[in-house]
Structure 1
Amino acid sequence: MKKVLSISLLVLLATSFEVLSQSRHYDSRSLSMGGGGTAYVDGYHANFINPANLMINSTKNRPKRSLGIVGGIGFRAGGTLLNLDVYDQYLTQGLTLEGEVAEGFLTDLFGGTNSELTKSQSATFNIVPFGFSNRGNKSAFSLATRVRVTEKFTINRGFAEIGVYGLDPQELDNVTPFNFSFGAVAFSEISVGYARQVLSLPNLLFAKNVKLYAGVAPKYIIGIQNSTLDFNSTIEIQRATNSQYANRIIHNFDYRLNTVGNVSADLREFEAAFEQDNSVTAGDYLSGEYANVNASGFGLDMGATLEMDISGVPIIDGFFGSKKTLRVSMSVTDIGKITYDVNPTSFTANGTFDFT
């Protein structure tokens, strides 16, 4: 039976728990603002944020058609592990990272002294190679492509303790959990967007010229690569009687590597060779041709935008210019899945290294 690995985009792309009020999909305007984000994204970029915004003509003078080649490149990183305040406090003030300073650094970074506490960081890179949009009076459509690479890395405090203290038996005289996980997914999207005006009212309470736009952008997804690694272990350092030096290190480990395509085939070949000759290395078998995974799927982005003229509100008139437009948007993005059916494989291992 052919094994199939299906992965929900909603899970894969939830790379951090941050809530962002501004879109982090980059177009020329957001890049010109130093990647700070914009209040809304229109044109073919709207396919990936809110397809209803294909209908927006904010200045009444924007071109009806737009065409872009490599129209957006962006990178974003974040997560609880990237606590810049803690790093600034302990790593840029000339302090020596040892003793109470090291303990304070680890406690502030992980929020406690339990070695099982975890922190994570994530990063996403995206590029829009091609995009086209056309806006009419009542409807709009667009075609856009995007390539995305997303990764997430998680460690526990025990992992950081080893990094800070090394294998110092005076600091690590108990059994220390040493755990980390890593996941990365790369894929491209071909998105077709459609939006139209679904409601128009000349007046609504205090607002005039009220318009409601709705949009949808189904997309075909082509998987490039996907891998996850979950490594769990403990390290115990023992000292000889009346000695400050270690005389025994015990490392118990258990890991699982999930991967697809040529990576899986290469690692299976290495695994078979290693059973015959334990002097071989994985580097001897990894070919570097990892995009042949034959993965595909479908996704959907959709949204709605309400636009109205609120120039007649007295308080607002006192603070802003003569023309005031209020827009309220809502969207649901990245619904869908990718199915990998070329060599989806899980590699597992466990054991104990005992160094004396």
Structure 2
Amino acid sequence: MRQVLFILLFMLVYVFESVAQPVLTPRNMALGGGGSTYITDYNANFYNPANLLIQDKSGSFSFGVGIVGLYLDGTQNYSDLSQQFQNTKNYFELYSPGKTSISGNDRIDIIDSNYPRGTTLSDNKFRYDATLIGLKWLKNDRAFSVALRTRTSSRFRVGQGWYSDSFKQTSDDEFILDRSLIHRYQSLHELSFGYAESFQFLTGLTSKLDNFIIGIAPKLIIGTGYQNAEWNNVYRELDGNPASERVQSFTYNATGQFGALTLAYLSGTPINQANTQFFSTTSFNVNGIGAGLDIGVTYLLTLGRDLSAIQRDGQPTRRSLRLSFSMTDIGFISYNNDDISILSARDTTLVSDLPTSIAGEAFIGSRGQYINFIEQFGEDNPFTGNPPDQSSFSSLLPMSLHGGALLEINRLKLMGDVSVGLTNNAFNSTKLISSFGMELRPLNFLPLRGGIQFEAQTPEFLSIGMALEFKKWDLSLAGIFTPNSLIETPEVTGAAAATLQFHF
């Protein structure tokens, strides 16, 4: 029976090896963004809480303050660091008219960078995470942890038709002008409690030294900013017909400052005035309350003379094979402050006139830009003509599945991870994410890390990192680069850092 359960677990991991990003820490981001087998500190609460019982440091207690990570897959990226820094600030700050103005050459660059082959929709994102404080402690065959985290993500998809008035041939051999505009934004603050325990029923599946670990991490969630806007708006050429077929639909949900801004705009307040009025403050507004759960399992098989799987004497694991499977962000959040919803059903019409207004700005998903962008450059406005609903609503958390494997031999670690989101949201999509990384320690206290991440088999980013790890404390850093940085001038698209973490 135990062998059958082990085989089923392995098959689950294998399925996802053949078929989305829970945390941004310098450790996992330096290794290509994975971490379902690698992360073992209190950040495992948010990725795979089973790993809390794996000991990669001496001692039984650790804590840290301030782990931050930022990632930008922007509409445009720049090799000049000062220019890229200002570019990143634009995504973070409140929208201001003219701040993202573009020229003809910029449009060419945007189209070349964001619409390869038959693609007519870009896929861009901006995200930052901060684990404010965390603690982890081990006791016998159990591990406990507490972590406080805040995270914000902005994910947007823009049709190529906003930057060009030419029809594009798709992979389905259709000619379309895509004027869709999709923007998902969400900010969450989480208090997580982690617990992991050795599951003796499945331990001992082989003649080797092994340990089967189950972990669970319930969490309380506070939601602040939230916007889910999806305007599907596509023109399609028809054979033998001078008119074009237009297919569009519109779905909009917002709360807090986004909802208040939208309600004011629909009541007649100019959009620029509404932006300034509702996004000028930085106060912490509680717009939603929710609960979530992260769960995971890890099979740890120690190799050679490594006895850490069965002896809890404070000695770290040095030689092992790990297989992991986890499910993150199971739960929901209920919003009830300045809520607004708008729904327009799918509509198909024949039109003789095509949009003539090409965007003079790049859409980057900054707060307050969505309505402003449509009002400036849209052929019409989907916010008008559809009565808003001000009832409260709920949203699922960005639930994802993860699987991975890690081989550790003394000073070398090789790892591979895959993740897939179960819903489209601000934090992940339903595309397959795969990550591969390596850690090498030329000196015992100096791990050097590198990795690569793929999204739907397309390179997403490259990453490198390092750390100083001593017996009682460590410090980690990571940098993230665009895939073309290997052959061109490097473009930095993200960074992660951890202040001192202490171990006792």
**Alpha-carbon spacing, 1:108–1:42, altered in 2? closer, same or farther (3 Å):** closer
Does structure 2 conserve the Cα–Cα contact (< 8 Å) formed by 1:106 and 1:160?
Answer: no
Structure scoring higher RCO (CA < 8 A, sep ≥ 6) equals 2
1:158 match: 161
State the one-letter code of the partner of 1:295: G
Give the match's secondary structure for 2:155. Answer: strand
1:159 positional shift: 2.0
Whole-angstrom CA distance in 2 between matches of 1:74 and 1:297: 24
Q: How does 1:76-87 map to 2 (within 5 A)?
A: 76-78=71-73
Separation in 2 of the partners of 1:158 and 1:291? 37
In structure 2, runs of 5+ residues without a counterpart are 1-15, 79-102, 167-174, 236-246, 306-317, 345-374, 381-504
1:192 maps to which residue? 193
Please report how far the alpha carbon of residue 343 of structure 1 lies from its aligned counterpart in structure 2 after TM superposition: 2.1
Partner of 1:134: 137
Distance 1:228 1:53, change over 3 A: same
1:265-296, Cα deviation, whole Å (9 max, x unpaired) = 3442343344xxx7994346435347424311
Quickly say closer, same or farther: Cα 1:76–1:199, change in 2 above 3 A: farther
User: Which has the greater radius of gyration?
Assistant: 1
Residue 309 of structure 1: which of 302, 305, 317 is its match? Answer: 302
Which residue does 1:217 correspond to in 2? 217
State percent identity of aligned pairs.
26
1:74 aligned to which of 69, 77, 88: 69
TM-score in terms of structure 1 length: 0.63
User: Of 254, 260, 270, which aligns to 1:265?
Assistant: 260
- C-alpha spacing 1:66/1:268, structure 2 compared with 1 (3 Å): same
Counterpart CA distance in 1 for 2:337 and 2:20 is 37
Could you say which residue in structure 1 is the equivalent of 2:53? 55
Question: 2:204 & 2:279 partners in 1: Cα distance?
Answer: 65
Structure 1 residues 343 and 20: alpha-carbon distance in aligned structure 2, compared to 1, 3 A threshold: farther
The structure 2 residue matched to 1:111, chosen from 108, 117, 126, is 117
Q: Is the 8 A contact 1:273 1:280 kept in 2?
A: no
Q: Which residue of 2 aligns with 1:5?
A: none
Distance 1:73 1:342 in 2: 28
Correspondence for 1:46: 44
Verify the 8 A CA contact 1:223 1:293 in the aligned structure 2.
yes
Change (3 A) 1:234 1:201: closer
Could you say which residue in structure 1 is the equivalent of 2:12? none
Q: Deviations over 1:148-184 (max 9, x none)?
A: 111111012212315xx8xxxxxxxx99442211110
After TM superposition, give the deviation of residue 35 of structure 1 in Å. 6.9
Mean CA deviation greater in 36-45 or 21-30? 21-30
> 2: distance between equivalents of 1:227 and 1:296?
16
CA RMSD, Structure 1 to Structure 2 (Å): 4.4
Amino acid at match of 1:258: N
Does the residue aligned with 2:52 lie in a helix, a strand or coil?
helix
Distance in 1, matches of 2:203 and 2:251, equals 61
Question: CA distance change for structure 1 residues 179 and 40 in 2, over 3 Å: closer, same or farther?
Answer: same
- Using the alignment, how far apart are the partners of 1:298 and 1:222 within structure 2? 9
**Structure 1 counterpart of 2:185, one-letter code:** A
Which amino acid in 2 is paired with 1:305?
Answer: T
1:298 aligns with 2:254: no
Of residues 324-333 and 298-307 in structure 1, the stretch that sits farther from structure 2 once superposed is 324-333
The alpha carbon displacement at 1:62 in A equals: 2.0
Q: How far apart are 1:253 and its partner, in Å?
A: 9.4
Structure 1 50/271 Cα, relative in aligned 2: closer, same or farther at 3 Å?
Answer: same
Cα distance in 2, alignment partners of residues 23 and 324 from structure 1: 27
| Matching residue of 1:147 | 150
* Corresponding residue number in structure 1 for 2:447: none
Structure 2 length-normalised TM: 0.46
State the alpha-carbon separation in 1 of the partners of residues 122 and 17 from structure 2: 17
